[in-house]
Structures are given as C-alpha cells and as structure tokens.
Structure 1
Amino acid sequence: MAELLIIRHGQASFGVANYDALSTLGQRQAALIGETLRVSGWVPDRVISGTLTRQVDTLAAMGFEVDPEQHAGFNEYDFQDLLKAHNSPTPSAIQSADRKAHFRLLRETVYAWMRDEIVGAAETWDSLAERVEAARQFAISSDAKRVLVVSSGGVIGQMVSRTLGGPVENMMTLNLQIKNTAMTRFVYSDRGFHLHEFNSTPHFAVGEGAKMISYS
C-alpha cells in the first residue's frame, strides 16, 4: 500500500489584506510538522502543493529535500469571490469584527454554493469537486510510495467526504474542523483508496506545540 499524506497549510494572515501570506505562527507550524515527520521516520518520495502562496511556503518551510511539484487542483475555493457573487458582507469586514461570524458566514455561503444558489461565481461547486478529484488522481499517479501534499481545508474536506460517501454537506463539516498543518492520511493501491487518519496533530500534543493550534 502507498500513502498520500495531505497537510493543511500553516496559519495564514487572517484579517489582513494579504491573507495568502503565512503568519509568523504559520511558518513555525510548518517547520514543526516537517521536523515531526522526519523524527518519526516518515520522509516523502514525492511532494506537491497547490499554487497558492500559503501552500507553497508551507511546503518549503517543512524542509524536505525533494523537488516540489504543483497542481492548481489543490488550491482552496475562492471564498471572497463567492461572497461577492452572493451579495454578502465583505470578508475583511467580517474577519476584523468577529471570527465566529466569519466562519458562520463561510458555512452558510458554501451551503448555498452547493445548492447552486450562487450565480456568477468564477467556479461552480461541481467544478470544484471535479478539480479536487483530478488533483487526487495526479497525486497517486506515480510509483511513489509516500506522497506529501500541502493543500487547504476545503479541498481536504472534499476529498475526505468523497472518499467516505454521504451528503455533500459533510465537506463543510469537515472543512471547519481542520487545524493548520493537521495531517490527513490516505492509503491506496490498485484495489482501492481509503481514509486512514484525519486532522491529526501530534506536533501540537506537548511542549511549545500545544500553544500553536490554529484554524485559519
């Protein structure tokens, strides 16, 4: 069996104009998960990220000496575009005022997107699902036995939801649980593709790591 280990990017710059940049905490989180994997003896044969800055920089900060690849299918959905198309409050106004309100708006907007109630968005829900599946296929297409991917919460939630089956709304339930630099692991072979571990953060279990948990 081969392994596909997907890491959510480190903490981004929540509430500022350039959200896509890693925060100082996000950089520390990425370095810590890289070191944790090396200490455990898990070193990837292949590494991939989306094309977003926070994903690329997380992978770089993890410190593995493997030539990185990129696939845009691992990019997060564009929440700001969805809000604009849905005539909702701007993300900056919500983020600066109340994180709980931000995540509530995020959930309600994505549910509306899933129901095809948002007209004019740059990407449809079906297109998101298709590109995430294409990215998954790309990641497992080589002979590598340990594949490391850095992606985002929505993509990871969708991949887990599709693997387990059930209502499409499960994607958002999973999305909102995923911690920055959490590990989600799949095992696969010619006979199947299976979830093995979800949202695991052993690097946050003790010491300074226990102070580094974040969700945005």
Structure 2
Amino acid sequence: MGQILLVRHGQASFGAANYDQLSELGYEQARLLGQWYTNSHQPFHKVVTGGMARHRQTADTCLAELPKPLLADTEWITDEDFAEFDHHEVLLRHCPEFADAVAFKALLADHVEPPRALEHLFRAAMQRWMGGWHDSDYTETWPDFRRRCVRALERLENGQSGHTTIVFTSGGVISTLMQHLLGLQDYQVMEMSWTLANCAVTKLLQRPGQITLGYLNNYAHLEWLGQPGSVTYR
C-alpha cells in the first residue's frame, strides 16, 4: 500500500503586500513538521509542490530538517494543478472594495469583530463563485478548479506499493479533494477549508485503482513540539 500526504502550507503573510510568502510562524510550522518526520524516520519517494511560493517554502523548510538518507532517492516535481484558486479574484468579484486595501481595512474596522466580518465576506464570496450564476466573471470557475484538483490527484494514483508521496499545497485544494473522495456537498468544502490548520497533514492510502482517506487535518506535530500559538488557520 502506498500513501499520499497532503500538507497545507505554513501560515502565509495575510495583510502583507504579497500574501504568497510564509510568515515567520509559517517557517517555524514547517520546521516542526520536518522534525516530526525525522523522529518517525519517514522517507519520501516523491515530493510535489503546487507551484506557489508558499508551497515551495514550506517544502524546502520542512524537508531541510530531515537527514539526507531519507531523501536520497527522492523525486521533486512541480504540479501547478495543486495550486490554490485565486482568493483575491473571488473576494474582489463579491466585494469590489477589496481592490483598495485602505478602503477594505476601513470597511472591516467598522465591525466589532473584524476577523468575523472577514469570514462572513469570504463565505459569501465563495458562495457566489461556487453557485455558477456568475461564471463569466471568473478566470477559473469552481467546476474548472475542482476538475484540475482531481486531475492532479489522478496523476499520483500510479504510485508504487510502499512508496510515500508528499504534496505541499493549499487548503482549498485539500478540501476539494475530500469532496471528490467522500462525496461532500459544495458547502461542506467551504466549511472544511476554514478548519484546516496551517501545515496540517491529510493522509491518503493508495491501493490499485483506489485512493481512500487515512486521516484528515492532523497537526499533532504542532501541538506536541510547538509553543502556544503554533496552531493557526489563516
């Protein structure tokens, strides 16, 4: 039996000019994951990154913690089908104020709980994107995103027995793959994406012609090795 480990990237730089960079805590989360795998003597036969800077930074930082023998025969590839959907576009189409960072922050600041207000805005933006009534507004529609996530997974289905592939990707991709494997509704994909921790791991088990879920959203390495505050979701 082979296995695929889906790793959500470490905490990115939300609110910064470039979101697609790990924060200081994001790098630490990746190091903790690497230390966890070092302790468990986990070899990796293939490393896949989704093409975004935060994916590669998480992969490089995590795997730098492993002793070289565990990576001696490891194949590294980039598969942009494991990239996240365009959060910026999805939010902008629902809330045009998002185009002006100052105006958007002022909009959120008017609320008693700005993080909660942002969550509500983003949920509404996701519903608009997933609903299908405004597909012409988006560079990538929800069905197109879903298809490319499944396509990326299917390319990994031919892994050899006993081999481990680790994929560094994003929460939207992982949630969408869970929909594919578990038969979830669209709204459940959206709800799940809010619960996936940064640098958490979801394990898939590979049998000939079949992929099943081993476990979902495991962040024990952050709780066991990290300091208070090591577990984040945004």
Is the shorter-chain TM-score for this pair beyond 0.5, marking a shared fold? yes
Task: Specify the alignment match of 2:38 in structure 1.
Answer: 38
Q: 2:93 aligns with which of 78, 85, 90?
A: 85
- AA of the residue aligned to 1:171: V
Task: Specify the alignment match of 2:152 in structure 1.
Answer: 135
Kept in 1, the 8 Å contact 2:49–2:59? The answer is yes
- AA of the residue aligned to 1:194: T
In the TM superposition, what is the alpha-carbon distance from 1:83 to its structure 2 partner?
2.4
Task: Specify the alignment match of 2:198 in structure 1.
Answer: 180
Residues 84-135 of structure 1 show CA distances to partners (whole Å, capped at 9, x for unaligned) of 3334431742597422222222222112211113332110011001100111
Higher Rg of the two aligned structures: 2
How does the TM-score come out when normalised to structure 2? 0.85
Task: Specify the alignment match of 1:108 in structure 2.
Answer: 124
Q: Is the counterpart of residue 169 in structure 1 residue 177 in structure 2?
A: no
- AA of the residue aligned to 2:85: Y
Question: Hey, what's the Cα distance between the residues in 2 that align with 1:134 and 1:108?
Answer: 27
- AA of the residue aligned to 2:57: D
Kept in 1, the 8 Å contact 2:157–2:211? The answer is no
Task: Specify the alignment match of 1:12 in structure 2.
Answer: 12
- AA of the residue aligned to 1:83: L
Question: Hey, what's the Cα distance between the residues in 1 that align with 2:217 and 2:96?
Answer: 30
Give runs of aligned pairs for residues 43-82 of structure 1, distance below 5 A.
Answer: 43-63=43-63, 65=71, 66-82=74-90
How does the TM-score come out when normalised to structure 1? 0.92
Question: Hey, what's the Cα distance between the residues in 1 that align with 2:8 and 2:95?
Answer: 29
Question: Hey, what's the Cα distance between the residues in 1 that align with 2:159 and 2:213?
Answer: 19
C-alpha RMSD of the superposition:
1.9
Listed as ranges, the gaps of 5+ residues in structure 2 are none
Q: 1:121 aligns with which of 135, 138, 150?
A: 138
Listed as ranges, the gaps of 5+ residues in structure 1 are none
- AA of the residue aligned to 1:72: E
- AA of the residue aligned to 1:49: T
Q: 1:156 aligns with which of 174, 187, 200?
A: 174
The 3 A distance-change label for structure 1 pair 156 and 84 is: same
- AA of the residue aligned to 2:83: N
Report the 3-state secondary structure (helix = DSSP H, G, I; strand = E; otherwise coil) of the residue aligned with 1:3.
Answer: strand
In the TM superposition, what is the alpha-carbon distance from 1:82 to its structure 2 partner?
1.6
Kept in 1, the 8 Å contact 2:95–2:125? The answer is no
The 3 A distance-change label for structure 1 pair 158 and 38 is: same
Runs of 4 or more, structure 1, over 6 Å off, are none
